[in-house]
Amino acid sequence: MTRFSAWNVIKNGLSNQKGWDRQWQDCEPKDQYDVVIVGGGIHGLATAYYLAKNHGIKNIAVVEKGWLGGGNAGRNTTIVRSNYFQPGNRQFYEHSLKLWENLSHELNYNVMFSQRGHVSLLHSPSAIDTAARRYNTMRLTGSDAEIWGLKKLKQKIPHLNYNVNARFPIMGAAVQKRAGTARHDAVVWGFARAADQRGVNIIQNCEVIGIKRDKGKIIGLETSRGFINCKKVGFSAAGNTTLLWNMAGLGELPIESHKLQAFVTEPLKPLLDHVVVFGVGGAHFYISQSDKGGLVFGGDLDSYKSYAQRGNLPIVQDVAECATSILPCLGRVRLLRHWSGTCDMSMDGSHFICKTPLKNLYLNAGWNYGGFKAGPSAGWYFADLIANDRPDGVIANHDLKRFERGINIDERGAGPDPKLHG
Amino acid sequence: MIRIQCPFCGERDHSEFTYGGDGSIKYPALNAPIKDWLAAVFHRKNIRGLQLESWHHINGCRMWLLVERDTVTHKIESVRAAHIDFQKILKV
Ligand SMILES: Cc1cc2nc3c(=O)[nH]c(=O)nc-3n(C[C@H](O)[C@H](O)[C@H](O)COP(=O)(O)OP(=O)(O)OC[C@H]3O[C@@H](n4cnc5c(N)ncnc54)[C@H](O)[C@@H]3O)c2cc1C
Ligand SMILES: [Zn+2]
């Protein structure tokens, strides 16, 4: 594999780009693997990479029913941050942010991670107090966080709607400067290429359609490309987790599949150099500008449970209203595209990286609509769990039995209703 | 937009309603074993296909409805009042 370097870019620039190899091999499935990861999104590929790199496991496959990053990995609004509050979550996401900070070097692939800052607008004194508590807690965990007053905010982002007569006047912002955005496809491709380089077999167009069990163990996976024997299996299938769980005959999960939309406008000249979040009184909206110039934004779930990767119109209106209420200058900007992904919404809004009732099956799921930022860390801890057959302390409570123990890791305090989490 | 045939108001946009959730859940008796409550509150079938679900006509008659809807095509197969007494009166 040709490494990306300034030298190689110049050399290939002068030789008609003929010197590059395939980024990863198009593998035929083998009869047998030590570990098979189901799902070729950012989580599955990161898991395979860290299994090979951190744990020296050699015989690994990632099986993906479509193409790499065709699921939520390629559909999200690419916001990366670590402003979480609950124990376990905040260490986990801070670890992920640290991995992101070095990811382009780690993978020798430009994932275009841009730490442009994440600015959550605040609209009342009590919201400022709540944010201060959350952000102080983050600082105790070794993360960065600050509260901006109105004066500073106006200097940094002058074209927000600062009208004092607005329904929710802006009073300040909670800011994480190290947060930002990354290029979603690049992260997927970067992990795939780096995993392939360490010997991982990446098998696309390979759908798991059945699971062969011998009592408490999985023997192998029935796939659209033949039977694969496996010593260990990891599910990393986001919105489709329940279907695999059913194939394994394991009953019900604390997860519902809901769809979330994302939107992009026509490209504009540089307008917004931060991620801005507007969330008050029923509004929920987040926006950033991509390197191509399009404004990328999203809002709430489509409100009802769904496996369709297809969005509805009321949410289009909803986000458009939010957009023009905080950035009135967008009034005449045209929407270019909108699309939707199937999210694995969990009962408390937090994830599961855990063992399962089957001895050699491991689960990574329940990412709601915040699993992009989690990708590197989820891969890291899921690989550690699979290799060592025990959870690290950071994910000790992120198992399927936490509700039985009376533990809810509920950042929003929304209660056991998947559609209310974020 | 999904259109829901409310038995009280007629056919309306889904944006007039709020989605309740899985309509097949039977809440156990108050003194039932804790594992029954765990299942009712936290565990979901999460069906891909036809499921029974509840909707609240919050910006209409404010009645709760039970809807059979496909979670892939979003096609609605049936709608009825959630409360058994209303079902009897309306014969749906
Ligand atoms: C519109 C939208 C916006 C979002 N915005 C953000 C954001 O700003 N920040 C953030 O942190 N997160 C965001 N998220 C969440 C994030 O995208 C997901 O949590 C994350 O991508 C999930 O992990 P993944 O990449 O591994 O999933 P996916 O990319 O969905 O990967 C799962 C893969 O499993 C495959 N699969 C499923 N079943 C099978 C089978 N039977 N056999 C083989 N393969 C199978 C699928 O084809 C899929 O490719 C957003 C999500 C959506 C939908
Ligand atoms: Zn009605």
CB of A260 within 6 A of ligand 1: the answer is: yes
Ranges of H-type helices in A15-149: 42-55, 89-101, 103-107, 125-140
- Domains held by chain B: number: 1
For position B53, which CATH number holds? 3.30.2270.10
Q: What is the pLDDT of residues A361-419, one digit of tens each?
A: 999 999 999 999 999 999 999 999 999 999 999 999 999 999 999 999 999 999 999 99
CB of A366 within 6 A of ligand 1: the answer is: no
B14 belongs to a structural domain:
no
pLDDT band with cut points at 50, 70 and 90 for residue A197: very high
Distance from C-alpha of B2 to C-alpha of B75, rounded to nearest angstrom: 8
In this prediction the pTM is 0.97
B2 belongs to a structural domain:
no
SS3 (DSSP) at B88: helix
Cβ distance B20 to B56 under 8 Å? yes
pLDDT band with cut points at 50, 70 and 90 for residue B92: low
Cβ distance A25 to A18 under 8 Å? no
Q: What is the pLDDT of residues B48-75, one digit of tens each?
A: 999 999 999 999 999 999 999 999 999 9
B11 belongs to a structural domain:
no
* Segment B27-37 mean pLDDT: 96
Q: What is the ipTM of this complex?
A: 0.96
Closest residue on chain A to B50 (Cα): A306
Cβ distance A223 to A308 under 8 Å? no
Q: Calculate the average pLDDT of chain A.
A: 97
Q: What is residue B8's predicted lDDT score, i.e. its pLDDT?
A: 95
Q: What is the pLDDT of residues A35-66, one digit of tens each?
A: 999 999 999 999 999 999 999 999 999 999 99
B73 belongs to a structural domain:
yes
Q: What is the pLDDT of residues A282-332, one digit of tens each?
A: 899 999 999 999 999 999 999 999 999 999 999 999 999 999 999 999 999
- State the distance from the centre of ligand 1 to the C-alpha of B68, rounded, in angstroms: 27
pLDDT of A276 strictly over 60: yes
CB of A43 within 6 A of ligand 1: the answer is: yes
B17 belongs to a structural domain:
no
* Chain B residues with CB-CB distance to A416 below 8 A: 41-42
Q: What phi, psi does A50 have (nearest 5°)?
A: -75, -30
SS3 (DSSP) at A408: coil
Q: How far is CA B41 from CA A107, A137, A399, A404, B27, in A?
A: 42, 30, 17, 11, 8
Range of the structural domain that residue B54 is part of: 22-91
Residue A76 CB neighbour total at 10 angstroms: 23
Q: What phi, psi does A85 have (nearest 5°)?
A: -120, -40
B4 belongs to a structural domain:
no
B16 belongs to a structural domain:
no
B5 belongs to a structural domain:
no
Q: Is B61 exposed, middle or buried (0-12, 13-18, 19+ CB in 10 A)?
A: middle
Distance from C-alpha of A296 to C-alpha of A287, rounded to nearest angstrom: 6
Cβ distance A418 to A346 under 8 Å? yes
